[in-house]
Amino acid sequence: MQKKVISLQKFILYGSIDKDIYEEARKETDITNLRTVKRISLLGMLLFFMDGLFSASMHGNNLGFVLDMFFTGTIGIIVFISLGIPEKRAKTALGVVYTFSSLFLFGLLLIDGMVTTKLPSVSFIACLIIFVVAFTDVPWHLFIISGGASILMLIFSYAFKPTELFLTDTVNVILFNMISLYLCPYMMQIKFADILTRRKIENERDMDALTQLYHRDVVRHTVNESLALSAFHDCALMFLDVDNFKHYNDTFGHAAGDAILKYIADSIREGCPDIATVGRYGGDEFIAFIPEIDDVQQVRDIAQKILDLVTDRERCLRITDVPDCPSLSIGIAIYPNAGHSYNELVQAADKILYEVKNHGKNNYMVYGDTGVTMLKRNKYGHYTN
């Protein structure tokens, strides 16, 4: 019995969706909700013109249709303009959704409850159904909004409508809330299943199957997006190339070569900070982008950490079972000194990478450095002149 109560509670509160999964998917649901608000706003603007035509042709100067026309059109225009910001920067999505919904429902309360007193509150009930189906949030949030609005609707209907219409509105509201008690959790399950499926498809599209790093197009998009917001801080792009990778395929076989690539990918991921975007550029080349750095020394430390991880012989043998430890050459380009776009930073990092190759490999260098003494690292990871 207790398990059934807990299961029912979880169904009503979170639609039987794990709370952690819900929190992880909040970004997607926020964007979906904002898009829904914009679509309903456009619908409101459409109703503005449709109500105007209908009011003029069928009802003359009926005050209810005139108010409906004015309200939906005005709210639609205001919301659509105010949400003209990039959706990813909207940190108050649910606040926008519920403010918009409250205003919309309140306007319908005035129209259906006080103005159109000779008709049942059909428009209000229809919008409550749209509200439950269109927006994505935990069911009990939606219950509070729809339940509160329903109580106000009945109060308005009792105060301003004949008894028979009040009874009709009461039956409609009770039926709707009974249906929504089951509809909200099921709709949430459907929406989250769609979000998780879409996320899986996007991950398969964006991630390299072997290394589980991003494809270079994803990194390029991330870099361009970050550079547009990087007016007040520096960024770093690292171009990394495996030294003598053909040797591993020829000597130990392609399976060993794949193991080395996965080992290096994990080393780069581990060596970079959490805010970095790491990708496979192609073949045995990798790319890493750090959107915020304090100074050049921070990037040097990151590059050094990656080299130390890669050339750790015991670690390499334990993970890959390949006795010959690999090494990397790393070229580093700093924004804005080395370039102002993704292409310019990649060209600069690639250029300095080949300087590292020409000076003995197994090292790193920052584009624009002068007077740098290149030390050669031996196969044990130690520096020698």
Asked which of 11-25, 176-190, 236-250 is least confident by mean pLDDT, the reply is: 11-25
pLDDT at 3 over 70: no
How far apart (Å, rounded) are the C-alpha atoms in residues 134 and 145?
14
Question: Exposed (0-12), middle (13-18) or buried (19+): which is 225, by Cβ within 10 Å?
Answer: middle
- pLDDT single digits (tens) 251-283: 999 999 999 999 999 999 999 998 899 999 989
The closest alpha carbon to 249, from 287, 283, 297, 299, belongs to 283
pLDDT given at position 184? 73
Nearest to 124 by CA among 188, 62, 170: 170
> Cα–Cα–Cα angle for 189, 31, 36, nearest 5°?
80
Q: Which two tokens stand for residue 138?
A: 């935990």
User: Structural domain boundaries of the chain?
Assistant: 2-206, 214-384
Q: pLDDT, tens digit, for every residue of 203-229?
A: 667 888 899 899 988 899 889 888 877
Rounded mean pLDDT of the chain?
Answer: 76
The one-letter amino acid code at 145 reads I
Is the whole-model pTM more than 0.75? no
The percentage of the chain sitting over the pLDDT mark of 70, rounded to a whole number, equals: 59
- How far is the C-alpha of 376 from the C-alpha of 356, rounded, in Å? 10
Domain 214-384, CATH among 3.40.50.620, 3.40.30.10, 3.30.70.270, 3.40.190.80: 3.30.70.270
Which of 378, 245, 355, 236 is CA-nearest to residue 307? 378
Other residues' Cβ atoms within 10 Å of the Cβ of residue 78: 14
Higher pLDDT, 123 or 287: 287
158-197 residue pLDDT tens: 888 888 888 888 888 888 877 777 777 777 777 777 777 7
